[in-house]
Amino acid sequence: MTAAIIDGKGFAAGLRARIAGQVAALAARGVVPGLAVVLVGADPASQVYVRNKGIQTREAGMASFEHLLPADTAEADLLALIARLNADPAVHGILVQLPLPPQMDAARVIGAIDPAKDVDGFHVTNAGRLAVGLPAMVPCTPLGCLMLLKDRLGSLSGLEAVVVGRSNIVGKPMAQLLLAADCTVTVAHSRSRDLAAICRRADILVAAVGRPGMITADMVKPGATVIDVGINRVKTEGRTRLVGDVDFAGVAQVAGAITPVPGGVGPMTIACLLANTLTAACRANGLPPPEGMAV
Ligand code: GUN
The pLDDT tens digits of the residues spanning 48-102 come to: 999 999 999 999 999 999 999 999 999 999 999 999 999 999 999 999 999 999 9
Mark whether 56 is an active-site residue.
no
1 band by pLDDT with thresholds 50, 70 and 90? low
Centroid of ligand 1 to alpha carbon of 216 (angstroms): 28
Mark whether 218 is an active-site residue.
no
Residue having the nearest C-alpha atom to atom 1 of ligand 1: 98
User: Do 78 and 95 meet the contact criterion of CB atoms below 8 Å apart?
Assistant: no
Give the pLDDT score at 200. Answer: 98
**Residue 204, SS3?**
strand
145 band by pLDDT with thresholds 50, 70 and 90? very high
Which CATH architecture is the domain 29-115 placed in? 3-Layer(aba) Sandwich (3.40)
Centroid of ligand 1 to alpha carbon of 169 (angstroms): 9
Q: Considering 120, 203, 228, 247, which one is annotated as catalytic?
A: 120
Type and span of the H or E element at 148: helix 140-153
Centroid of ligand 1 to alpha carbon of 230 (angstroms): 14
Domain extents for the chain?
Answer: 29-115, 140-267
- Beta bridge pairs of residue 170: none
Centroid of ligand 1 to alpha carbon of 18 (angstroms): 23
DSSP 248: H
126 band by pLDDT with thresholds 50, 70 and 90? very high
User: Do 33 and 280 meet the contact criterion of CB atoms below 8 Å apart?
Assistant: yes
Q: Considering 22, 56, 97, 176, which one is annotated as catalytic?
A: 97
Q: What is the DSSP string of 59-128?
A: HTT-EEEEEEE-TT--HHHHHHHHHHHHH-TT--EEEE-SSPPTTS-HHHHHHTS-GGGBTT--SHHHHH
CA–CA gap between residue 287 and residue 231 (Å, rounded): 36
* pLDDT tens for each residue of 173-222: 999 999 999 999 999 999 999 999 999 999 999 999 999 999 999 999 99
**Residue 291, SS3?**
coil
Q: Which residues contact 230 (CB under 8 A, 6 or more apart)?
A: 207, 208, 209, 210, 211, 212, 243, 244, 245, 246, 261
Whether 27 is in the pocket of ligand 1, judged by its Cβ within 6 Å, is: no
* pLDDT tens for each residue of 251-263: 999 999 999 999 9
Fold observed for domain 140-267: Rossmann fold (3.40.50)
User: Do 114 and 242 meet the contact criterion of CB atoms below 8 Å apart?
Assistant: no
Q: Report pTM.
A: 0.97
Mark whether 120 is an active-site residue.
yes
User: Do 212 and 232 meet the contact criterion of CB atoms below 8 Å apart?
Assistant: yes
Q: Which residues contact 3 (CB under 8 A, 6 or more apart)?
A: 226, 251, 252, 253, 254, 255, 256, 257, 258
**Residue 151, SS3?**
helix
Taking alpha carbons only, the member of 22, 41, 18 closest to residue 32 is 22
Type and span of the H or E element at 276: helix 266-284
Give the residue, out of 46, 95, 109, 268, with the most ligand 1 atoms within 8 A of its beta carbon, to mutate for a pocket test: 95
Helical packing angle, 171-180 and 140-153, nearest 10°: 40
- Beta bridge pairs of residue 96: 38
Give the pLDDT score at 272. Answer: 98
CA–CA gap between residue 127 and residue 164 (Å, rounded): 19
DSSP 288: P
What's the whole-number mean pLDDT along residues 20-30? 97
Query: Is 29-115's fold the same as 140-267's?
Result: yes
Reply yes or no on whether the pLDDT at 160 is more than 70.
yes
Whether 279 is in the pocket of ligand 1, judged by its Cβ within 6 Å, is: no
Percentage of the chain modeled with pLDDT above 90: 98
Q: What does each C-alpha distance from 52 to 4, 33, 57, 199 come to in angstroms?
A: 29, 17, 8, 34
- Beta bridge pairs of residue 225: 204, 257
Give the pLDDT score at 115. Answer: 98
Over the chain, what is the mean pLDDT? 97
Q: Which residues contact 22 (CB under 8 A, 6 or more apart)?
A: 278, 290
